[in-house]
Amino acid sequence: AEEALRQSQKMEAVGQLTGGIAHDFNNLLTIVTGNIDMASRALEAAGVNDPRARRALDNAMKGGERAAALTHRLLAFSRRQPLAPKPTDADRLVAGMSDLLGRSLGETVSLEIVTSPGLWRIEADQNQLENAILNLALNARDAMPQGGTLTIETANARLGDEYSAQHAEVAPGQYVVIAVTDTGEGMTRETLARVFEPFFTTKEVGRGTGLGLSQVYGFTKQSGGHVKIYSEENQGTTVKIYLPRLVSDGEVEPAAEQVTDLETSPRRET
Ligand code: ADP
């Protein structure tokens, strides 16, 4: 619990700091790109056709646009967007993402979606949940440069008192679990210990921001849920998002319902 608190305070502080910097930086970038644009137009208007000057300005503009895209991601991360939770069928939400996911994964990674008949409903901010799943899928893709399989699977899960005793931040109860599994390179013990830290990345500059799993963590916690990661080097990674079941007024919990959490082969976990 103490660890969870420290984590959320850190996120809060980092969020405020990044928000401020990203905002100012974005304003400055507007000046830079605006002036590049003006210089290009001025050259054109003067009838100057210097390919080297043109290329230099184009490159500067591209750099500026990439920097702007990065500051927008930082702003989106730092903004404590209030969630807009709605009753949600996680299987439908995942199915609705399959085209987007297929396109994002490229040719060498195949996508498997395993739905769960009788899946409970959850109450979730659908945009944020889609973002979280997309972040996990992109991480999975990056972990499988040689290709592989990305599996997204759902299930009803009951986290009991025993489980909660070991994980002080988790309330016992009924959850829907969404598990994202890849057959990629996995994580070292050191990486696994730090994955939720904002800005922690092992990817090269320009490829990773280190904010993907921070978003997943922040969103899940804010939704009353829980994230677990299982990873083994050279075998792959499973990220499980647990989101609380939506029990509407008057609905009675069925007595003998099939409840199974998803199997995870014995892997190192967070
Ligand atoms: P980013 O993807 O921008 O680096 P994340 O917060 O999403 O930021 O991930 C942090 C780090 O966790 C990654 O740089 C990578 O080292 C590790 N990681 C995350 N997901 C996976 C995965 N599916 N397989 C292997 N490593 C992963």
What would the DSSP string read from start to end of 210-253? S-HHHHHHHHHHHTT-EEEEEEETTTEEEEEEEEEBP--TTPPP
Whether 106 shows a pLDDT value over 60: the answer reads yes
Pick the range with the lowest mean pLDDT from 25-34, 100-109, 202-211. 202-211
Pick the range with the lowest mean pLDDT from 4-8, 83-87, 149-153. 4-8
Q: In the chain, what is the straight-line distance between the N-terminal and C-terminal CA atoms, in Å?
A: 14
Q: Which residue has the higher pLDDT, 199 or 33?
A: 33
* Summary mean pLDDT of the chain: 86
Q: Which atom of ligand 1 is nearest to the CA of 239?
A: 23
The interface predicted TM-score of the complex, written ipTM, equals: 0.98
Distance 142 CA to ligand 1 centre (A): 8
**Digit-coded pLDDT (tens) for 203-253:** 987 778 788 898 899 889 889 999 999 999 999 999 999 999 998 755 555
237 lines ligand 1 (CB under 6 A): yes
Q: Whose CA is nearest to atom 8 of ligand 1?
A: 210
What angle in degrees, to the nearest 10, is found between the helix axes of 212-222 and 126-142? 150
208 lines ligand 1 (CB under 6 A): yes
Mean pLDDT of 141-158: 96
What's the pTM?
0.74
Question: Cβ contacts of residue 42 below 8 Å, gap of 6+?
Answer: none
Whole-number pLDDT of residue 147: 96
